[in-house]
Chains A and B, each alone.
Chain A
Amino acid sequence: MTVISVVKDAEARTLTITSRFDAPIGRVWQVWSDPRQLERWWGPPMYPATVMEHDLAPGGTVTYYMTGPDGERHGGWFRVRAADPPRSLELDAGVADADGTPLPGAASAVIRVALSELDGAGTQMIVTAAWASDEAMAEMLATGMEDGMTAAAGQIDELLGPPTQT
């Protein structure tokens, strides 16, 4: 199984997802560092991504747009906070207009990526995605919130307990 753990912390608005790949660390780094590879996995199948600017050096920028089923474009950007190839990457992520021009406002999320070599073969990737309180992200997530409002009641203990682990 590729995903080996998921930790959700509602109060810190953070998702930590750990996965393992049967590939060397340098190869896994390429899915981030090669724009042509990045665009093959970043967007959902109905919203393929097209990466325009792509500079993963610290301070660099990545801009992209995703094309929806009706041809509409949803832009986005990363600002590289830190990068240590092939081990770690820290990005501010935000929403852009269809041309990739960042929309006003702060970053909507911080994404941290940590790659490590596993004993034997293979690479572990830990992605931590944390939301910032930003209107643009809220807009992206508004649908999810509405879904959440109507979701069936869950266990209160689970909500009050420590971060859930599945």
Chain B
Amino acid sequence: MVVGIDATERTDALFHALADPTRRDILAVVLQESHSVSDLARRYPISFAAVHKHVGALERAGLVTKTRHGREQRVSGEVATLRTVHGLLDDLEGLWRGRIDRIEQVLAQPTERAPR
């Protein structure tokens, strides 16, 4: 398994993409069903260009893909990429579970200072 700058940049792009509530909403919508950018633009009180930009950020993060259907491009969610975020959360959970176990060990040992 090669862990390098590519993974770093991709993780960065993921975080960036998911940091915005509109992008999270677009993602939730296209995970259910693919939509054209114009469909999406009608759902939000922002310009077509702004929606297009959000879709671009999601695409760079690998969270959505665009496929051409005739004259329109349809946007679909990539479940596999979202799953990687879950993988990161699982890792973070493992880290904190370890910390909590160790806190319990620290608490079990007597300290010089009296507890408050």
Interface residues, chain A, with chain B CB atoms under 8 Å away: 2-3, 6, 8, 10-11, 13, 15, 17, 19, 21-31, 34, 37, 40-42, 44-45, 86, 125, 127, 129, 131-135, 137-139, 141-151, 153-154, 156, 159-160
Q: With A19-B100, A41-B102, A41-B103 known to touch, is A159 a contact of B82 (CB < 8 Å)?
A: yes
B8 touches A138 (CB 8 A): yes
Question: Min CB distance, A136 to chain B, in Å?
Answer: 9
A interface majority secondary structure: mixed
Chain B residues near A138 (CB-CB < 8 A): 8-9, 11-12, 15
B19 touches A133 (CB 8 A): yes
Q: What interface size band does chain B fall in?
A: 35 or more
CA distance A45 to B32 in the complex (A): 42
Question: Min CB distance, A33 to chain B, in Å?
Answer: 10
Question: Min CB distance, A104 to chain B, in Å?
Answer: 14
Residues 4-33 of B at the A interface (beta carbon under 8 Å): 4, 7-12, 14-16, 18-19, 24, 27-28, 31-32
Question: Which residue of A31, A44, A160 is within 8 Å of B95 (Cβ)?
Answer: A44
A-B contact pairs, 23 of them (CB 8 A): A6-B97, A11-B27, A13-B15, A21-B103, A23-B107, A26-B115, A30-B116, A34-B113, A40-B105, A41-B106, A125-B100, A134-B15, A135-B8, A138-B11, A138-B12, A145-B84, A147-B1, A148-B86, A149-B80, A151-B83, A153-B83, A159-B86, A160-B31
Question: Which residue of B12, B99, B111 is within 8 Å of A135 (Cβ)?
Answer: B12
The number of A-B residue pairs with CB atoms under 8 Å apart is 158
Question: Min CB distance, A153 to chain B, in Å?
Answer: 8
B interface majority secondary structure: helix
B100 touches A129 (CB 8 A): no
Q: Write the chain A residue with the least CB distance to B6.
A: A142
Chain B residues near A133 (CB-CB < 8 A): 12, 15-16, 18-19
CA distance A143 to B90 in the complex (A): 12
Q: With A27-B116, A44-B98, A160-B32 known to touch, is A142 a contact of B7 (CB < 8 Å)?
A: yes
Q: Write the chain A residue with the least CB distance to B95.
A: A44
B99 touches A41 (CB 8 A): yes
